[in-house]
Amino acid sequence: MNIIPRPARLTRQPGFWRPTPDGVTLRIERTGLGPEGYRLSVTPDGVLATAEDERGLRWAEQTLRQLEADGQVPCVEIEDAPRFPWRGVMLDVGRWWFPVGFLRRMIDLAALHKLNVVHLHLTDDQGWRMEIERYPRLTEVGAWRAESMLGHHRDQRYDGRPHGGFYTKQELRELVEYGTSRGVTLVPEIDLPGHMRAAIAAYPHLGNHPEAELPVPGEWGVHEQVLNVEEETIRFCQDVLAEVMEVFPSPYVHIGGDECPKQEWRESPRVQQRMRELELPDEDALQSWFVGRMAEFLSAHGRRLVGWDEIVEGGLVPGATVMSWRSEEGGIAAAKAGHDAVMCPSSHTYFDHYQADPDTEPLAIGGLTTLAQVYAYEPVPAGLDAGAAHHILGTQGQVWTEYLPTPEQVEYMAFPRLCALAEVAWGTTGDFAEFEERLARHVPHRLT
Ligand code: ACM
């Protein structure tokens, strides 16, 4: 049986059920299996799925779907529940805009693998993708760039072709609904105070050099130009987050926080003056203050802040959840300090890295993370005591898209590594060879 992620307990019974439209009963009831857990009973007479929540029923349906082969379903008794509550995939729609239909497909593929989070990286230097009514230039200007890099970054070649696009709030609301009905939460990310060139192109007063011509760049990488720390800029970010919260009901809102070079802040007399006013010892503390202003705002609206592990550096703000990407260290520090963490180290969960010998693969950013490595990943770092380990919410695969301009390329890189990570996150990994055998049915069909 080709189920991915493999169920915790599965017993084959004699016989088969031939699917009929009214043969499936779904029931919410006390099962003792906890959040997202489900019991699935397939007999020749029909199917009964029970769970304590809607998500559990959605996962039961996915299992049923995977059990079916040649028009029949083998009779089974299944009891199943996930190891981790956060099982995610991040898609970078900042570097390239993708059609909404493809985002729906990514939600479908996540749900098929019982992943319950699709994290949308909605903004980056090279493009702002979410309509914000209060600041229309974010998409009028920030969603478009004159050209994009061709080949590898080191080649410094450009295609000369404009690229852009954005999602209306209505499109995103519909996408949220689409996810909810499939058990998938959409977690929005607005990346700040670095990776903000698109916003600065739209509203130069947000930057540290309002007089400079700073278009939306076509170059990948980490840009030196970041937000300033004026009260007006804080208000801008909070206004944006307010509209993000209107559209995305997710309890978590991601504020990025990664790769914010501090050079501009060190050189700006105005920023240095602000630091003195705020009695902050250094620029890391200033970033922590910036993130803290976002955390307070989100918290006042009943939401929780998530950020990349750089937010640990100047001191973690109360209640923040850390996405540990550069290594396990950020997650370990967070968990030991009583903060939640999602483990997504680039060594095991960055699916923009090569998955096989680069000589045989399409151009990628670099690295090498094979399917076997992903399958062997253990999200709870060694050495955490039980109390700290409890703060590890789960794991997530990252699909950064600098080198993936089309949906086909995104899928090629995301799968089958995401199948392996889904099983890691569900907590039922075993023999890799056996996993590979089950994988055959899961290699996604090409887009038609
Ligand atoms: C990241 O990869 N910059 C989070």
Residues 176-193 as b/e (b if ≥16 CB within 10 A, e otherwise) read: bebbbebbbbbbbbbbbb
Which of 92, 121, 124, 258 is the best mutation target for the ligand 1 pocket, counting ligand atoms within 8 Å of the beta carbon and taking the most? Answer: 258
Residue nearest ligand 1's atom 1 by CA: 258
End-to-end CA distance of the chain: 27
Does any ligand 1 atom lie closer than 6 A to the CB of residue 325?
yes
Q: What is the pLDDT of residues 384-425, one digit of tens each?
A: 999 999 999 999 999 999 999 999 999 999 999 999 999 999
Which residue lies with its CA nearest to atom 2 of ligand 1?
325
448 has pLDDT over 70 = no
51 pairs with which residues across the strands? 28, 38
Our answer on whether the CB atom of 79 is closer than 6 Å to any ligand 1 atom is: no
Compute the distance from residue 258 Cα to the ligand 1 centre, in Å: 6
Cis ω on the peptide bond leading into residue 381 (within 30° of 0)?
no
pTM reported for the whole predicted model: 0.97
Q: Is the CB of 351 under 6 A from ligand 1?
A: no
Given a cut of 70, whether residue 59 has pLDDT beyond it is: yes
Closest to 94 in 3D by CA, of 119, 120, 117:
120
Structure confidence by residue, pLDDT tens digits, 96-152: 999 999 999 999 999 999 999 999 999 999 999 999 999 999 999 999 999 999 999
The residues, any chain, with a CB within 8 Å of residue 57's CB and separated by 6 or more, are 26, 28, 38, 49, 51
Q: What is the DSSP letter of 158?
A: E
Q: How many whole angstroms separate alpha carbon 352 and alpha carbon 333?
A: 26
Q: 149-188 pLDDT, tens per residue?
A: 999 999 999 999 999 999 999 999 999 999 999 999 999 9
Tell me the β-bridge partners of 120.
91, 188
Q: Are the C-beta atoms of 372 and 429 separated by less than 8 Å?
A: no
CA 58-60-65 angle, to 5 degrees, is 95
At residue 21's C-alpha, the angle toward residues 17 and 23, to 5°, is 45
Q: Which ligand 1 atom sits nearest the alpha carbon of residue 195?
A: 3
Distance 326 CA to ligand 1 centre (A): 8
Instruction: Judge if the beta carbon of residue 59 lies within 6 A of ligand 1.
Output: no
Ligand 1 atom at minimal distance to the Cα of residue 256: 4
Q: Tell whether the model's pLDDT for residue 446 goes beyond 60.
A: no
Rounded Cα gap, residues 307 and 321, in angstroms: 7
In sequence order, the 6+-apart residues with CB closer than 8 A to the CB of 388 are 332, 335, 336
Pair 331, 340: CB distance under 8 Å: no
pLDDT-above-70 percentage for the chain:
99
pLDDT value of residue 443 = 67
- Give strand pairing partners of 307: 322
Ligand 1 mean position to 325 CA, how many Å? 7
326 CB within 6 A, ligand 1: no
State which ligand 1 atom lies nearest to the alpha carbon of 259.
3
Task: Tell me the C-alpha distance between 235 and 237, whole Å.
Answer: 5
Q: Is the CB of 365 under 6 A from ligand 1?
A: no
Q: Quick: pLDDT tens for 237-288.
A: 999 999 999 999 999 999 999 999 999 999 999 999 999 999 999 999 999 9
SS3 69: strand
Q: What pLDDT shows up at residue 447? A: 39
Give 324 Cα–ligand 1 centroid separation in angstroms.
10
Q: Specify the residue with its C-alpha closest to ligand 1, atom 3.
A: 258
- Give the pLDDT of residue 440: 84
The per-residue DSSP string of 244-293 comes to HHHH---SEEEEE--S---HHHHH-HHHHHHHHHTT-SSHHHHHHHHHHH
- 288-343, pLDDT tens digit by residue? 999 999 999 999 999 999 999 999 998 999 999 999 999 999 999 999 999 999 99
> Which of 60, 43, 55 shows the shortest CA–CA distance to 87?
55
The alpha carbon of 65 is separated from its chain's Cα centroid by a whole number of angstroms, namely 25
Ligand 1 pocket test: which of 119, 124, 259, 351 has the largest number of ligand atoms within 8 Å of its C-beta? 259
The alpha carbon of 444 and the centre of ligand 1 are apart by a number of angstroms equal to 26
| Among 239, 25, 257, 264, CA closest to 135 | 239
pLDDT band (50, 70, 90) for residue 444: low
Identify any residues that bridge with 305 across adjacent strands, giving them in sequence order: 253
438 Cβ contact partners less than 8 Å away, ≥ 6 residues apart = 1, 2, 3, 4, 6
Higher pLDDT, residue 430 or 440:
430
- Backbone dihedral angles phi then psi of residue 240, each to the nearest 5 degrees: -65, -45
CA distances 322 to 203, 251, 392, 398, 442, Å, are 29, 15, 10, 15, 31
- Residues serving a catalytic function are 124, 195, 259
For residue 310, the 8-state DSSP code is: G
List of domains in the chain: 9-80 (3.30.379.10), 86-440 (3.20.20.80)
Atom index in ligand 1 nearest the CA of residue 350 equals 2
Q: How far is the CA of 309 from the centre of ligand 1 (A)?
A: 9
Q: Is the peptide bond before 215 cis (omega within 30 degrees of 0)?
A: no
At position 111, the amino acid (one-letter code) is A
Q: pLDDT tens-digit profile of 182-219?
A: 999 999 999 999 999 999 999 999 999 999 999 999 99
Tell whether ligand 1 has an atom less than 6 A from the beta carbon of residue 297: no
Whether 125 and 197 have beta carbons less than 8 Å apart is answered as yes
Q: How far is the CA of 306 from the centre of ligand 1 (A)?
A: 13
Q: How many A from CA of 257 to the centre of ligand 1?
A: 9
Burial 363-395 (b: 16+ CB within 10 A, else e): ebbeeebebebbbebebbbeebeeebeebbbbb
Question: Average pLDDT of the chain?
Answer: 97
Is residue 259 lining ligand 1, measured as CB closer than 6 Å? yes
Measured at the CA of 102, the angle between CA 113 and CA 441, to 5 degrees, comes to 35
Q: Which atom of ligand 1 is nearest to the CA of 400?
A: 2
Which of 192, 308, 323, 327 to mutate to test ligand 1, by most ligand atoms within 8 A of the CB atom?
308
